[in-house]
Structure 1
Amino acid sequence: MATPPFNIRRSPLMLAATLAFGLGAGSAIAQPLERARAAQARGDLRAAQIDYRNAVRAQPDNAAVRMGLAQVSMDLGDPDTAEREARAALERGFDKAQATALLMRTYLARGRFRELLRDFPQVDEPAALAAQIAAARTFAELGLNQRDAARASAEAAVRFAPDSADAQLAAGTVALAAGDRAAAEAAVDRALAADPTSQEAQLRKASFQAERGQIPMALETLGKLITQAPGNVSARVLRAELLIRTGQEQQARPDIDAALRIFPSHPAATYLTALMQVRAQDWRAADETLQRMGAALPMLGDALLLQATVKRALNEPGQAEDAAQRYVARRPDDARGAKLLASLQLERNRPDAAAATLTRLAQRNAADAEAMDMLGRAHVAAGRPREAVIAYARAAEMAPNDSGIRARLAAARLASGDSRGTSQAATESLRLAPEQSGARELLAIAALARGDITGAQAEYDRLTPEQRKGEAAGTLEGLLALSRFEVQPARRAFEEVLRNHPESIGARLGLARVATAEGNPVLAERLLVEVLQRAPSHPEALGRLLATVMSGPPRAEPALIALQAAHAAAPNDPQLAITLATAFGAMGQPERGLAVVDTPELRRAGQGPQLPLTRSQAYAALERWPEAEQAARAALADDPTFFPARRQLLSLLLRNGDQRGAEAMLEEALRTQPANAALQQLLLVTVRENRGLDAALQLADRLAGVVTMRPASLSLRGDLLMAAQRPAEAAQAYAAASRIDASSTLTLREAGALRAAGKPQEALALLSTWLQKEPDDIGALNLAAQIDIAAGRNDAAERLLTRLVEKAPDNAVALNNLAWLLQERGRPEDLQRARAMSERAYFLMPGPETADTFGWILSRTGDRDRALVLLRQSASAPRARGQAPDPGKVFRYAATLNAAGQKEEAIKVLEPALAGDAAFPERAEAERLLAEMRRG
């Protein structure tokens, strides 16, 4: 607790007269006393204390000299000497009220609150003494958090001596503790009216003025106080702080020096010294100064924050983060501390920890726009674009004129798959800053994400020649070429970006896509490793390498080696470690996967549930069941809503035969997440496997009756019956649920059940009725088109798919299916329409199916070179272990090879596909082609 505001009224003339009366004019003590008073007058309290000590030695029974030594010792922060001398002054007859007041100050300075209340019981008279005791008891009771008692004591102090500055200050302190700053300042004003020379009252008045931003008035108040009492260290430190705050460091220096001369280890003055050194960027000196504060450092305002800043500048990140953590623990509502801590965590590649720090700040409603912006960056770095969107959107609300935040919001929306939201945010960013290129490029990329290649090109064309020299614009140029499957121009664009921007991630990813399209997986993998060396958590690079491992030979082992190389460069990156461990698991090497994720750094708390889940999966693969269960529970403790961890724990409980515990665990989860469809399904599957279908059906009916579990629970009975191969009954269950609460989900499931039950016409009728009510239902349009295609009604399917594409122009599946139907008609105009659609579908969803459609249409329209690249990619795409290549895709690749004059290669490709008896629609045509090629 800070030293409380007790001031003994001291009149220099009265004190001089008292001393002269006690000592005599010719006393040998006169010179030390004169020196002591002179030293006090100029603020040299150390010299004054020495002279008072000499005077005490000369005349130990002089009460006034003892009192002078007590007072100066108290001002020097020496309460032990002050207590001893104040008692001596009392014993020798000094004014009881004044001496008792100083004695009680020594108790308060050392936190001896209970002893003060015991040693100084309240008296009623004389009034001056009673007021001083009541005021001191006020502070002791506040120190013990006895607020009602403190209020009563303060009221008593004012009652005993309404014109006492100390009594009014006690009342003001009670008001301040209650949060009533207006009443507290009014009490200070009354104290000043009672005693304009009260040092504590002047100091408090200056503090209130500073809080209101009235810095010049506060400096004027402090100037008067320091002129009156040059040795008042608190006043000098406060004035120095205000001068530094207003950029007047040179004017602050004399006050800091004076405070440190009086009190060499004064924490606040030492802190201000370090602050000035930081402003001068003298980091080493600031560090040494802060170290001198010792145990006082954590107790002083922003000192821990300053220490974290200094340690960061000295490249001592561990100590910087420790200091920032301690500051945040003490002041969790201060956004400055949370932002500094989060930035340190981000610098140490721990985005999950940074996100947790900033989320806690936001939950306390203490986050500002900068903090929410930083939270968005942390989520992006952790691979959580949806959470990033929420954070950036909140930041944009707080700072509506910040174009940069809008641009980052656009980028996060793009990463989360919301291309239209991307366009909206990027457009707003451009409105705020029309000259920027970043938002324009995001608009183009958002258009590409929707498959709107024409719109993307239009945005690119709006860039100035200077803007097109940038990394993002160059990458965009390559992507535009790639979207049209112009492989060579795309490569040239990406290579140009790399020449000008050697660290570009986007250009490397583009070149990796080009390499894949050209059938060069070795180059693609090397480029993906280079991406991971620069961005260890990059989702596309990790995903592509992991998918290659999962596909099996021949590329699984090289892709695994590539992941290991990336991990060696960043062993503590959580997402990279998780991916490598998963890859080891897929290769049947769980012990190596466990070693990757079971390190001290990756075991630290606050890194998300995926790491402990990955450990659990590795333990389970090694049949280390207790550790597997413990790790799964750790994942759930980190995030109780993390469904994969819940599913993992369920499987472990069931393996141990704990069926009751498994069901209880899921029911407990549903109590906090009643509408969670995945949890409901998991519980039903568990009950069905453990207690049979009838028990599961009974539970499904019970869950469907709980309103808080809807709408997901309404489909449970039908889902169980479909899994039991009873589609007709399932259709009836879905229909009954629809009568309770009709929805697209229930309609689609009922139609699917009718189709599985051999009633496609009823399914189509149901969908047609639903589409009359909800004409924009994408799922219903798609399912109806599939039913028509299966029935050979291509014209009807084409009409439905056309409607679907109009409503969802970025639906790659619909685009691909419609393009296939159009190309089957074979007319030139249909082939041109199909070509544009398939190009767009492939760009939106590059994969074997879209590559096959796009490549075949290119082949049929005479663009065989580009067609061969796509069809080779489709025919040789990674597939499940043991699965043979799709013979239809192989036939189209072989036909194109033959048409391009590569007959021998075509025969080599087609023969294995026809070696067996696999049936496929083009088999007769493929056999005829092979026979023709063999005949030459």
Structure 2
Amino acid sequence: MSTRGMGRRCRPGLAAVLVAVSLLVGCFGPSASQFVASGQARLAAGDLPAAAIEFRNALQKDASLAEARFLLGSTLLRQGDAAAAFAELDRADRQGFDADQLVPLMARALSQQGRYDMLLTRFATTTLRDPLAMAALQVSLGRAYLATRQTEPAAAAIEQALSAAPGNLEALQLQARLMASRGDLAPAIERLQALIAQHPQADSTWLTLADLQLAAGQTQAARQSYASAIQLNPAGTQAYLSLLPLQLAAGDLAAAETTLAALEKVDAKAPLTSYYKAWLKLERGQLAQAQELGEGLLKRSPENADLLLLVGAIESRKGALDRAADLLGKAVAAAPDALRPRMLLAQTQLRLGDADKSLRTLQPLLNREPAPAEALVLAAAAASRGGDAAKAEQLLMRAVATDPQHLLARIALAVARIAKGQVDDGLKQLRELARTTPQLAPDATLIDQLLRQRRFDAALQAIQAVEAKPDGKLVGELLRGRLELARNNRAQAREAFDAVLKADATNTQAATALASLDLADQRPEAARARLQRLLDQDPANSSARSALLSLEIDRGASGDELIAMARQAVKLAPTSRELRLDLIRMLLAKPDARGAAQVAQESAGLLGEDPELLAAQGQAQLLAGEANLASKSFARLQALKPGLPQVHLWLADAYREAGDGARALQALKAGLQRLPDEPALYRAEALLLSGQGQPDQALEVAQQLKARDKTGWQGLLLEGDLLAQQRRDGDALRAYTAALATNPSTLLAVRVHQTMLRAGKAEDASAFERKRLAEQPRDFGFVSHLADTALRAGRFDAAEARFRQALALQPQNPVPLNNLAWLMVRQGKSAVALDFAERAVKLAPRQPDFLDTLAEVRASLMQYDAAVQAQQQALVLAPENHLHRLHLAKYLLQAGKKAEAKAELTRLARLGDRFDLQAEVQRMLATL
């Protein structure tokens, strides 16, 4: 059976001195309401920066003024600062501001930040009273679904929006985007053009049209559409922000400067204005100014994909390729669908000499239809650099359809002539292109065609021409290796690839080509040794490292073996932060907390007080029982990252584990002084007080949270949890019920239902269950809770029905599948159980609990060998799970493999008191 974790902790409070200062300041100057009125007047005049200042002034006078916070958030959103806007709107939400006004803007702010998972999690089931507000919310949900490629839910959200507000322009625009995502780009553009004819003054439709024109490769048309949007709404920022990157990409720096100047008149202080100013400085070659702007922005938003791209581009231009690759890799991880980060990362990887990694980076772009021309061009260059001219040809043929004037499109045309039988003419064109351009792609295509024609001498001459070009020497040797392979000269091919490695010992293409030759010669150990040598020469080579790890995983290497490989990599690259973190994570997974703590401490000593390393060090020390050392690590981390709530929680946990409850409380109170609106800190303080036998003081903390949280539900939740701990179920139920009335979440519904059952109110619990399911029939979490409740009570039929209901809500969720398998086998329905178990493992093949269930089901069907295989896989993934090892011994016995079973049981017996089921171990040993 799978298990579920405990709920997360909570947080914050307000220092009395701050209250006093706030009251004192409020005695002088305009009142908060006057500031709000002034801000609204400035808002009406279109002066967004001044309006934001007035709303901030109002909040300085009265921080509890939800309307001012809402107005500030909405103004920041209009200014393009979605992150700051959401923070203010979220505070307004906690202060109880009207959801119909608030939720659509919160959803829009999350959408603009690309935080789609949070948007869907928080608002997918939200219902608003006002139809227009509901339509706006559904539009944002539709955008989120579309961005996460959930087209059917996106279509449903759009339909709901149009049902709530027929003719809603944003919904109609989103509908066009949905059409485009389904491949109907031309009809989508036509629909938008028709909308413009009906509503010619709607700048947002021009913006949407420009976006789709850009997706269709109609860059010039897109620029014109963005310009039209600016003409219609010169005070809006989005069109400027969309037009600027096109102008920069086209190298039209004069136009970009004009657009930037106009944007600065609208909002000079906006982060995005500084962002594009930095890009323009970069394109002008003013690297110092660009870096100053970029680093300043990145410090404020260190995980922002656009800023990671900007600073990565600056580092790349400076030649700091390793840092550039690191920053750009983070940008791609944060925005995997974005074109520019992926393109620049691939370019940087290519400059670092890793063509294979560059191609893997580009693959998601190449999977698009149509693929961006620039991505195809870059992929072709990477393929050519790696000596794979055939792949380069395929990419170039796709590029010609996107941009007929592109150099590589011309190459593709020459190839097409060759394919038509006009061989000499096509080869002549390729030679001319190769002669007149310094790029390597024409040469690679020419050589590929010559190899296809088996004109090996001419191919050799072309390779010599490649070697004479800048950066052509290694590519020429790689192509020479291909030539010799085509001639079936394996020895000469090896010589060519070896020559590449002599010049560039870290060249992955040459090393993997030689490894392929080793594998073809039935020498897998030689291939493994070759990859290992590559790692010995370049331990940070992630491609070779991944290839070798894949070999070892396929071989069934144990966790100890993989840890040994990671240790070797760290030894060879002692300053690699990433390799050290990998090793720490592997050790923690083993689990070997002491080993992880030692590596973390060594890493921090060598690399300095890196926040991620300090966090890993503290966690490892805490798990290893070294709470005093952990508290020191977390204290240093707190000095580096005082604004992270988790840091204060970790520090308090370390003090608590060390037996110093007073310092744990002190750490939490210090956290509350810095972060007075963080519920997890309140919760941690209250639970700590409760654990120290101070229930009344704990309830006082809950009251403090209730006073800070105007919505009331978070404080009520904490109050209910504390009362439940004290077995005051009636009072706890009242608190949970009041919280649920404000926030109808799954968490609170489960709390209410659990408390009713614990209080012996079975009829009330049943009535609540029926009411909740009638109101929220698709609440997966509540249905799963009902299933678990029935299972714990031994009501297998009811549990099965609820698990099946949960599965119907989320057919691709492996948890209900696994639970149904476990349940079915106990009801003697093993054939049905097998189907559920296999589906669960297929969806989550590396989940040991699911493999354990599958093994049990197979054993119940007397498929003992298959049961042993599944259980062994579970142990590979979780080697320290002693219960899984006991199950393996049982299945080995059933399979007649007594010697192997005895070995597993003997290993368990050595654990002694560390394994609770020693009686069962001894019973099984006695049967042997």
TM-score (norm 1): 0.42
Which structure has more relative contact order (CA 8 Å, sep 6+)? It is 2
TM-score scaled to structure 2, two decimals? 0.43
